[in-house]
Amino acid sequence: MPFCFAWLFPFMFFGFFIYMFFFNKKGPSFQPPWNNHEKPYREKAPKKNYYEDTNKEIELQKKVQELEQDLEYLRRRLNESEN
């Protein structure tokens, strides 16, 4: 008879909520807007202007390439002067 397993369903139903509230170490997946739990983490996040950062990176890469070319030229001059 299926009634012999009827005592399992309340344990399964309430056990899920007991697990969620007492044994889930990550906490609830949904944070309501009035809960300030995640607020300090959001404030610590850096505010970046990604376009400026990428423009600076591109400029720095160009400068590095120019300096590498200058270094190669100076090495060739040094080798020519030694020979």
- Answer yes or no: is pLDDT of 79 > 90: yes
Calpha distance 60→63 (Å, rounded): 5
Residues 41-48: what's their mean pLDDT?
58
Residue with tokens 């002067």: 81
In a domain, 29, yes or no: yes
Q: Half-sphere exposure of 20 toward its Cβ, with a 13 Å CA cutoff?
A: 9
Asked whether residue 43 carries a pLDDT value surpassing 60, the answer given is no
Which whole number is the average pLDDT over 37-55? 61
- Flag whether 1 is in a domain: no
pLDDT of 14-35, one tens digit each?
888 888 777 766 666 666 666 6
Structural domain tally of the chain?
A: 1
70 in any annotated domain: yes
Instruction: Report yes or no on 3 lying in a domain.
Output: no
Q: Is the pLDDT reported for residue 62 higher than 90?
A: yes
Residue-range definition of the domain harbouring residue 54: 9-82
Q: Residue 38: pLDDT above 70?
A: no
